[in-house]
Amino acid sequence: MTFNKFSNSDRHKIKHTGQKPLKYIECEKAFNQSSSLPTHKEIHTGEKPYICEECGKAFKQFSNLTIHKKIHTGEKPYRCRECGKAFNHPSTLFPHKKIHTGEKPYKCNKCGKAFISSSTLTKHEIIHTGEKPYKCEECGKAFNWSSTLTKHKRIHTGDIPYKCDECGKAFPWSSSLTKDKRAHTGEKPYQCEECGKAFRQSSSLTTHKKIHAEEKNYKCEECGKAFRWSSNLIRHKRIHTGEKPYKCEECGKAFTAFSTLTEHKIIHTGEKPYKYSSTLNKHKIIHTGEKPKECDECGKAFNKPSTFTKYENLYGI
């Protein structure tokens, strides 16, 4: 493999003109520095000469290995001034900052959805094409992204490289370790701008925001009642259909919810497994008059979660 040659005498001028006179013959990609060519070459050869001594993972570039090593050390030197969240690389900090500004400059031409980073947009665009080029050799399952395949493979290998220093529990994914650490620290970095309530996960904040927005996108075709969450609509529909998919093998009695079936089974076994658990605590509430479950929408309080759930279903909260 050869490269087009270029004199170094005008190297400084190139920086100002934006000219990229050095071209890689294999793919015609152009560069403005000769030092970029060997690095690019590794994309075609598949060579990964830089190996992590900790876990054995290999990388094409030394800089990527350096970034990777911070996963093992836990080092996160790049901190967000807005919320204090720390990152192991500036490239991760920059997209995070846009969460606070609300900036989403990368828009999908297909559906109009906007994203914080170009890489997230690229991943999203695969949803429209339906392309799943990354296939697991073990089970044949295919994925949109190589990163998802890498995570999936750990199911087969049993690899759990992310260990919590606090409790010793190990996880196959770094995101699971992050969630576990927040359980120890009590950190809740995702805060609702409307009411100030904070959450450990961004998905929980997204769900919570619907309370303020009063979004009820899931509508029952039978009676017109609308719900915030699809799970509530599914449960509600059973009122109309009479469907009771959860059946007791002992007596044949059927239920609309799996949790109700689980509670029912105790009648047959005579088991009292909650002597020292949450059921005892629930019972104590009868005596104390405590009502720990409160509706975010209207402030009404309940002494039992099951009563609160019924209230939610009744009013579509």
How many angstroms from the chain centroid is the CA of residue 31? 36
- Residue 35 lies in domain: 11-45
pLDDT for 98 beyond 70: yes
- Residues 129 and 239 grouped into a single domain: no
The residue whose two tokens read 């570039």 is 61
At 251, the pLDDT band (50, 70, 90 cuts) reads very high
Residue 146 falls inside a structural domain: yes
pLDDT for 275 beyond 50: no
Residue 70 falls inside a structural domain: no
At 157, give phi and psi (nearest 5°): -85, -25
Mean of pLDDT values over 178-194:
84
- Residues 92 and 126 grouped into a single domain: yes
Q: How would you classify the pairing of strands 86-87 and 78-79?
A: antiparallel
pLDDT of residue 316: 47
- Residues 206 and 223 grouped into a single domain: no
Residue 61 falls inside a structural domain: no
Comparing C-alpha atoms, which of 134, 163, 146 is closest to residue 55?
163
Asked which of 5-9, 48-52, 143-147, 205-209 is least confident by mean pLDDT, the reply is 5-9
Strand partners, 87: 78
Residue 127 falls inside a structural domain: yes
pLDDT of residue 1: 39
Q: Could you give the percent of the chain with pLDDT greater than 70?
A: 70
Residue 84 falls inside a structural domain: yes
Higher local confidence (pLDDT), 38 or 57 = 57
Mean of pLDDT values over 133-152:
85
pLDDT for 6 beyond 50: no
Residue that finishes a domain, picked among 210, 242, 263: 210
pLDDT for 188 beyond 60: yes
Mean of pLDDT values over 82-106:
81
Q: How far apart are CA 82 and CA 294, in angstroms?
A: 31
pLDDT for 317 beyond 50: no
Residue that finishes a domain, picked among 210, 230, 249: 210
- Residues 165 and 198 grouped into a single domain: yes
At 210, the pLDDT band (50, 70, 90 cuts) reads confident
Higher local confidence (pLDDT), 167 or 123 = 167
Share the mean pLDDT of the chain. Answer: 76
Mean of pLDDT values over 273-296:
59
- Residues 195 and 306 grouped into a single domain: no
pTM attached to this predicted model:
0.35
- Residues 107 and 22 grouped into a single domain: no
Q: Could you give the percent of the chain with pLDDT greater than 90?
A: 0
- Residues 136 and 30 grouped into a single domain: no
Residue 3 falls inside a structural domain: no
- Residues 106 and 167 grouped into a single domain: yes
pLDDT of residue 282: 60
At 173, the pLDDT band (50, 70, 90 cuts) reads confident
Number of domains in the chain: 3
The torsion region of residue 252 among left (phi > 0), alpha (psi -120 to 50) and beta comes to left
Q: How far apart are CA 72 and CA 49, in angstroms?
A: 20
At 9, the pLDDT band (50, 70, 90 cuts) reads low
pLDDT for 26 beyond 80: no
Residue 264 falls inside a structural domain: yes
- Residues 84 and 195 grouped into a single domain: yes
Residue 71 falls inside a structural domain: no
- Residues 181 and 261 grouped into a single domain: no
Asked which of 244-248, 290-294, 308-312, 313-317 is least confident by mean pLDDT, the reply is 313-317
Question: Can you give the CATH number for the domain in which 26 is found?
Answer: 3.30.160.60
- Residues 33 and 126 grouped into a single domain: no
- Residues 236 and 195 grouped into a single domain: no
Residue that finishes a domain, picked among 175, 193, 210: 210
